[in-house]
Amino acid sequence: MEEKLSCDGGHEFKVLFSYPSGLSPSQVSVVFDEVYDRIPHTDHTLEKSISEIWDARVEQSSSLYNGTKFRYGGYNFNVENDPKQQPHVSLHLGLTDYRTFVGTNLSPMWERFLVPSEDDCIQCHHTSSPLGNGAVVETSDRRILVLQRSNKVGEFPGYFVFPGGHPEPQEVGIISHEGSQELNQCHMINNKVSQEMFDSIVREVVEEIGTPADSLSSPIFIGISRRLLNVRPTAFFFIKCDLWSDEIQQLYSSAQDGFESTQLYVVSMSDLENMASKMPGCHRGGYALYKLMVKGTSDSLSHPLLNENFVAS
């Protein structure tokens, strides 16, 4: 049976980037480059532990398999002085894999991989840090979709989460950096990866909830949170669904990836507030991003909130 991750302290999070009014696909781009890949640790024993931990996990669960993921390497945010110009964020992504994620971020020794620094990207130089994604989905009757994770999943079994997963390199034909540095390929690859940021979250909602893609609005990007435990980053999006709560509940029973969860909750904002106390930190950070969006103050609509700390009580 797959080893479960301890949840002690897993509620705490940090918001790395927030834009409460949301950014459309045209306002989000990606720089995919090997400079944002993980840097191996100088401690050879610590590096060796990555393969040792992975081998032990595979022995425990034959269903585990390695796969490539996009690695979070920071972002650059631009706001033009001209009010007619739209704000724009550029996400910096490298390449990593699930094996390295298990051996660094999820390692019992994960804190030893961190670099003492106030800069988040420098601090996580030696961790896999795959970029996850999550969606705050609002129904036609203004309820929010929340899943309860299965007891068979590896991270935070039984906890409440928003639908989500990861953008997938293989969906855009990426298995390595080979060829991506050529000038004629670089622009095309960056555009494909940028589109995958938005396509992947729609795909996750469809697969985990069962809602048809044509019932979902185009996602808007509202920010990135990071769980303090295991320094796990997740990009969050807001999506509207034109179906009613009872219709979605019926569709959930035949969702493709329904095995990853045990129940779908369709909740009010007040109920969501209570459920957030039993969310992993990265998803609790997603709730904080959604609250900022709902609050919609004049300041938050005009300016991003960068590196704001929100720590669960």
Average pLDDT over residues 128-143: 98
Given pLDDT bands bounded at 50, 70 and 90, which one contains residue 6? very low
- Is residue 176 a part of any domain in this protein? yes
Predicted confidence (pLDDT) per residue in 193-235, tens digit: 999 999 999 999 999 999 999 999 999 999 999 999 999 999 9
- Is residue 3 a part of any domain in this protein? no
Distance of alpha carbon 243 from alpha carbon 215, whole angstroms: 7
- Is residue 186 a part of any domain in this protein? yes
- Is residue 257 a part of any domain in this protein? yes
For β-strands 13-23 and 220-227, DSSP reports them as antiparallel
**Closest among 271, 277, 255 to 144, alpha carbons compared:** 271
For β-strands 68-78 and 88-97, DSSP reports them as antiparallel
Distance of alpha carbon 200 from alpha carbon 192, whole angstroms: 12
DSSP letter assigned to residue 175: S
**Three-class SS of residue 145?**
strand
Distance of alpha carbon 174 from alpha carbon 6, whole angstroms: 32
Question: Measured between alpha carbons, how far is residue 24 from residues 139, 157, 223 in Å?
Answer: 20, 32, 12
- Is residue 2 a part of any domain in this protein? no
Predicted confidence (pLDDT) per residue in 137-153, tens digit: 999 999 999 999 987 77
- Is residue 6 a part of any domain in this protein? no
* Structure confidence at residue 80 (pLDDT): 66
Given pLDDT bands bounded at 50, 70 and 90, which one contains residue 9? low
User: Any idea what the CATH number is for the domain that residue 220 is in?
Assistant: 3.90.79.10
Q: Which helix (H) or strand (E) holds 309?
A: strand 305-310
DSSP letter assigned to residue 124: T
- Is residue 34 a part of any domain in this protein? yes
- Is residue 80 a part of any domain in this protein? yes
Supply the pTM of this predicted model.
0.90
Distance of alpha carbon 205 from alpha carbon 146, whole angstroms: 11
Given pLDDT bands bounded at 50, 70 and 90, which one contains residue 63? confident
Place of tokens 């609250």: 291
Q: Which helix (H) or strand (E) holds 113?
A: none
Tally the domains of the chain: 1
Give the Cα-Cα-Cα angle 232, 237, 238 (nearest 5 degrees): 145
Distance of alpha carbon 201 from alpha carbon 19, whole angstroms: 18
Give the residue numbers spanning the domain of 214. 13-310
* Residue 189: CB atoms within 10 Å: 20
At how many degrees (to 10) do helices 183-209 and 245-252 cross?
A: 100
